[in-house]
């Protein structure tokens, strides 16, 4: 899967080979965790991406709604369960503190998926869990997790990602509506990807919907083939473009 691929919830579950109902899933992959985020109106948690730095601030999760606790939004987000085991908040928090305190060398690697519309998700790539905090939020305390966008290279090498490559959510939502959830070439509704019309590596912007469109896998691929044929002397640039996930 490439960054900015559009997938259904079922594809998301198939890709991670797990039921991700919880939203926060510590250590669910061989070497990574998975979180689901949303900055849509009415989203249950206050997730946010800083447009300047690309840093993700991810809010922890509430206690479950029960008879004894009819309104989880009035209760501190829990670090541990009543039985004393870590909640997902606790697992992510401990990983962040261990990294900050030098108890672990590498930060926890986290795959992030973002909700774009009902049943429609977008893969946002890998982030590193750098820090966490417990902060007051009105009458209660919530967890905040701070994650930095990174790129996972072959052989597992992690490099910093140029943050302005990330397409902001408002652009994605706008493009999704404008293109009607279909490939702009063939109207396919499967294997869709957010494509930069002018690639980011050649100066195209992520920040305006005019330079972003929906393409199916086939047309996304044929676009890069075309570039290969037209400008062979740009091969070095193209190969770096491809290694960036054909942005």
Q: Contact between 216 and Zn ion (CB under 5 A)? A: yes
Q: Contact between 231 and Zn ion (CB under 5 A)? A: no
Q: How many CB atoms lie within 10 A of CB 149?
A: 22
Q: Contact between 183 and Zn ion (CB under 5 A)? A: yes
Q: Contact between 213 and Zn ion (CB under 5 A)? A: no
Q: Backbone phi, then psi, for 18, in 5-degree steps?
A: -160, 155
In the chain, where does DSSP find H-type helix? 9-16, 88-100, 169-178, 217-230, 235-243
**CA atoms of 145 and 212, how far apart (whole Å):** 29
Q: Contact between 221 and Zn ion (CB under 5 A)? A: no
Site string for Zn ion, 188-207 (x = CB under 5 A): x-------------------
For the record, the structure tokens of 27 come out as 């250590």
**CA atoms of 111 and 56, how far apart (whole Å):** 12
**Of 14, 80, 186, 221, which one interacts with Zn ion (CB under 5 A)?**
186
Size of the site for Zn ion (CB under 5 A): 6
| Strands 5-8 and 33-37, sheet pairing | unpaired
What's the first-to-final CA gap in the chain, in angstroms?
13
Site string for Zn ion, 133-172 (x = CB under 5 A): ----------------------------------------
Q: Backbone phi, then psi, for 127, in 5-degree steps?
A: -130, 160
Applying CB under 5 A, the span of 11-19, 144-152, 175-183, 237-245 interacting with Zn ion comes to 175-183
**Of 91, 111, 115, 219, which one interacts with Zn ion (CB under 5 A)?**
219
Q: Contact between 175 and Zn ion (CB under 5 A)? A: no
Q: Contact between 120 and Zn ion (CB under 5 A)? A: no
Per CB under 5 A, residues contacting Zn ion are: 183, 185-186, 188, 216, 219
């Amino acid at each position: 899967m490439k960054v900015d691929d559009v997938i259904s919830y079922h594809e998301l579950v198939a890709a991670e080979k797990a039921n991700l109902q919880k939203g926060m899933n510590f250590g669910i992959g061989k070497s990574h965790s998975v979180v689901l985020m949303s900055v849509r109106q009415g989203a249950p948690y206050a997730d946010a991406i800083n447009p300047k730095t690309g840093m993700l601030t991810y809010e922890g999760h509430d206690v479950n709604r029960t008879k004894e606790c009819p309104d989880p939004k009035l209760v501190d987000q829990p670090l541990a369960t009543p039985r004393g085991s870590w909640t997902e908040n606790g697992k992510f928090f401990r990983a962040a503190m261990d990294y900050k305190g030098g108890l672990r060398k590498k930060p926890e690697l986290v795959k992030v998926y973002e909700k774009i519309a009902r049943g429609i998700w977008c893969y946002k790539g890998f982030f590193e869990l750098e820090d966490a905090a417990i902060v007051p939020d009105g009458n209660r305390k919530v967890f905040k997790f701070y994650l930095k966008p990174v790129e996972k290279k072959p052989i597992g090498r992690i490099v910093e990602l140029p943050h302005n490559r990330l397409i902001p959510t408002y652009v994605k939502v706008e493009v999704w509506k404008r293109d009607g959830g279909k490939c702009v070439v063939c109207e396919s509704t499967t294997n869709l990807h957010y494509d930069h019309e002018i690639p980011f590596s050649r100066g195209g912007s992520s920040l305006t919907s005019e330079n972003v469109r929906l393409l199916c896998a086939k047309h996304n691929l044929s676009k890069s083939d075309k570039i290969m044929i037209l400008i062979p002397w740009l091969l070095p640039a193209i190969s770096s473009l491809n290694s960036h996930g054909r942005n």
